[in-house]
Structure 1
């Protein structure tokens, strides 16, 4: 008789273990819809007990747009349901996924690529890397853990994660940071399709810009950018934007959009670049001079005027974001000659606004010059 009861007794003991509050006998992956609190917030006797309180972490904005050099606030708030009568110790960690690795559906493995920005608990906090000394928590109200970033840099764009940790509970929310700016195509002095991926990165950096992200190029296409030469983007893909389909640019029967070659070999394959320039703190201006200048003279007169010869990214940013409009060709730092037009008119090139380019003429030829100060 006892042998017949043993299986039933074992089943009862197993079921009893499953119902224990500490969860010692729970099946992996099992949940009863409630939450448990660890010993750091327990009763002081090292016991873990059921509390039924849920932690919520939210942001009223999915993305924030700002200008280079300014201050941006990435909102993040947390609260409990039901509300607590006494405060709890919480820890917040802000981390960052750079723009060139942001994808629509982020896998758990992608989280490993996130870089720590700031960690805080109570009045103690620590910031890391390039964010050290530039970030703080706003704390304008109870539950406010919004991240404030000062002196925004070109490479600060990307997806930021606000993670709030309370004992065993861990909730997070993401906010995208975008910089307002302008995308422009760029090619080597040697001609078209001379950059591998790393050369394109360096070329944009040399012109006070970064390789554009897919989102930035897509926005530029929506705003009318049409360019029939393929260029590298920050994620290692090669694409180009077409607003007016035509032969030689994917075919006239294809709909307008971004033409993509997909991922290419970052060392072997050669293309142009799509760069992204954000606003500049200083001023880009055409230097009024009695005579036209060769390239060497152009560099010298900008220095004599207390500035330096402007870079291509600076000229594009001044044109797009500050309304710079001059119908006079001038030298730039890379040896190219260009001029910005915001109000199209006769004798100033095409009927649309834009930055006109004369390419890379001989350094001995005479033009004006655009300076930056």
Structure 2
């Protein structure tokens, strides 16, 4: 009687037990062609008979950095290296998979189940590779030395932030490491001309986008709080929660008895509930400057003045990014594209507002009043062959 016939003649409970035992590690039975999407049978590193020699050898995947920060539009490298213990003299076939957990899903509640929410960025084996989604054509492996599987991302986008996993697979062995990618920038509160608490979640998203920014993530707001951001009005974040940062506890802002920190309303209805927004502005690919003019301007005149100078009136996110990342410091109040009037101060001094650095705001004054204006010129825009300096 053949082995297969003998197996089939067994009672069903015993048959299930035998099959289970054959699948256990170390059993004599092997299931050829095993795959879970990575085509492990192609990289079994065995003898051609389904036997994988990996006894006494350990695969290690490591990164010298747990987090990396960069600016929008730049090229960033997420380090990942693998090696064996003990070292091997004969190269082995490996497959690497980079996956990504977006920052807007990385809340304090996301922990053990985070892996299952990751999406693929890139898969590579030897000279073959494939990238996915918004990363297609923007990512590659560095491969600067044996075992280097570092991911290089070109033209970094605001939405690229989050947790990246580098997984290396050798036969049935695999190991992985994670690297957090953060975007250098600045968080600022944003509210309607009508006053506070007029935005549902989707309107808050649009308002931030209109100011060359995005809704801030929890991590970005937390970092801003650590750097001293104190704001008593609640605002939407990218994960759909509503929170606000308090450095000096006080009545009306959670109470004097609560410790400093982020006050949270938790998840709110994204359509029905109304709050302000916390926006995040990254680097500006251009120049923000105060337009020197002998006379003050109303809002309509301010727009025209920037246009005549070969520029556009600056957006709020552009002004904040220029202040935070490029050190823009000017004590004159000026119009911005949303109809607000503000000015940036990096070195606090007399007659320039409070004693701390920041972007001072006059709110949304009547548009017939006269102020200066802040203009923005893209690096691609030229005026008589020159880009206007700060």
Q: TM-score, normalised by structure 1?
A: 0.88
Q: Return closer, same or farther for 1:39/1:194 CA change in 2, 3 Å cut-off.
A: closer
Following TM superposition, by how much is the alpha carbon of 1:132 offset from its aligned partner in structure 2, in angstroms?
2.2
Q: In 2, are the aligned partners of 1:311 and 1:334 still within 8 Å (CA)? A: yes
Following TM superposition, by how much is the alpha carbon of 1:49 offset from its aligned partner in structure 2, in angstroms?
3.7
Q: Structure 1 stretches (4+) deviating beyond 6 angstroms?
A: 16-20
Following TM superposition, by how much is the alpha carbon of 1:234 offset from its aligned partner in structure 2, in angstroms?
1.3
* Match in the other structure for 1:236: 240
* Match in the other structure for 1:274: 278
Following TM superposition, by how much is the alpha carbon of 1:23 offset from its aligned partner in structure 2, in angstroms?
5.3
Q: In 2, are the aligned partners of 1:22 and 1:48 still within 8 Å (CA)? A: no
1:148-227 to 2 correspondence within 5 Å?
Answer: 148-227=152-231
* Match in the other structure for 1:264: 268
2:336 alignment partner, one of 332, 341, 344: 332
Q: Structure 1, residues 98-151: CA drift from partner, whole Å, max 9, x if none?
A: 101124685565434322222211112222222222221111110000011122
Q: Return closer, same or farther for 1:105/1:273 CA change in 2, 3 Å cut-off.
A: closer
Following TM superposition, by how much is the alpha carbon of 1:50 offset from its aligned partner in structure 2, in angstroms?
4.4
Q: TM-score, normalised by structure 2?
A: 0.84
Kindly indicate whether residue 45 of structure 2 is the aligned counterpart of residue 46 of structure 1.
Answer: no
Q: Return closer, same or farther for 1:19/1:163 CA change in 2, 3 Å cut-off.
A: closer
Following TM superposition, by how much is the alpha carbon of 1:21 offset from its aligned partner in structure 2, in angstroms?
3.7
Q: Return closer, same or farther for 1:306/1:23 CA change in 2, 3 Å cut-off.
A: farther
Instruction: Return the alpha-carbon distance in structure 1 between the equivalents of residues 23 and 339 of structure 2.
Output: 74
Instruction: Return the alpha-carbon distance in structure 2 between the equivalents of residues 242 and 107 of structure 1.
Output: 25
Following TM superposition, by how much is the alpha carbon of 1:306 offset from its aligned partner in structure 2, in angstroms?
1.6
Instruction: Return the alpha-carbon distance in structure 1 between the equivalents of residues 186 and 46 of structure 2.
Output: 57
Instruction: Return the alpha-carbon distance in structure 2 between the equivalents of residues 282 and 321 of structure 1.
Output: 12
Q: In 2, are the aligned partners of 1:21 and 1:49 still within 8 Å (CA)? A: no
Instruction: Return the alpha-carbon distance in structure 1 between the equivalents of residues 25 and 254 of structure 2.
Output: 65
Following TM superposition, by how much is the alpha carbon of 1:303 offset from its aligned partner in structure 2, in angstroms?
1.8
Instruction: Return the alpha-carbon distance in structure 2 between the equivalents of residues 142 and 83 of structure 1.
Output: 12
Q: In 1, are the aligned partners of 2:44 and 2:50 still within 8 Å (CA)? A: no
Instruction: Return the alpha-carbon distance in structure 2 between the equivalents of residues 212 and 88 of structure 1.
Output: 43
Kindly indicate whether residue 128 of structure 2 is the aligned counterpart of residue 124 of structure 1.
Answer: yes
Kindly indicate whether residue 100 of structure 2 is the aligned counterpart of residue 96 of structure 1.
Answer: yes
Q: Return closer, same or farther for 1:338/1:19 CA change in 2, 3 Å cut-off.
A: closer
Following TM superposition, by how much is the alpha carbon of 1:42 offset from its aligned partner in structure 2, in angstroms?
4.8
* Match in the other structure for 2:4: none
Q: Return closer, same or farther for 1:83/1:193 CA change in 2, 3 Å cut-off.
A: same
Structure 2 portions without partners, runs of 5+: 1-13, 32-39, 378-390
* Match in the other structure for 1:3: none
* Match in the other structure for 2:90: 86
Instruction: Return the alpha-carbon distance in structure 1 between the equivalents of residues 229 and 161 of structure 2.
Output: 21
Following TM superposition, by how much is the alpha carbon of 1:22 offset from its aligned partner in structure 2, in angstroms?
4.2
Following TM superposition, by how much is the alpha carbon of 1:172 offset from its aligned partner in structure 2, in angstroms?
1.4
Q: In 2, are the aligned partners of 1:208 and 1:311 still within 8 Å (CA)? A: yes
* Match in the other structure for 2:356: 352
**Equivalent residues, number:** 352
Q: Structure 1, residues 302-328: CA drift from partner, whole Å, max 9, x if none?
A: 122122111101101111111111111
Q: In 1, are the aligned partners of 2:288 and 2:374 still within 8 Å (CA)? A: yes
1:58-69 to 2 correspondence within 5 Å?
Answer: 58-69=62-73
Q: Structure 1, residues 336-370: CA drift from partner, whole Å, max 9, x if none?
A: 11111112222222222111111112222221110
Partner SS, residue 294 of structure 2: coil
Structure 1 portions without partners, runs of 5+: 1-9, 27-36
Q: Return closer, same or farther for 1:176/1:90 CA change in 2, 3 Å cut-off.
A: same
* Match in the other structure for 2:301: 297
Partner SS, residue 220 of structure 1: helix
Q: In 1, are the aligned partners of 2:30 and 2:50 still within 8 Å (CA)? A: no
Q: Return closer, same or farther for 1:40/1:227 CA change in 2, 3 Å cut-off.
A: closer
Following TM superposition, by how much is the alpha carbon of 1:173 offset from its aligned partner in structure 2, in angstroms?
1.0
Following TM superposition, by how much is the alpha carbon of 1:17 offset from its aligned partner in structure 2, in angstroms?
6.8
* Match in the other structure for 1:136: 140
Instruction: Return the alpha-carbon distance in structure 2 between the equivalents of residues 107 and 257 of structure 1.
Output: 21
Q: Aligned Cα RMSD in Å?
A: 2.5
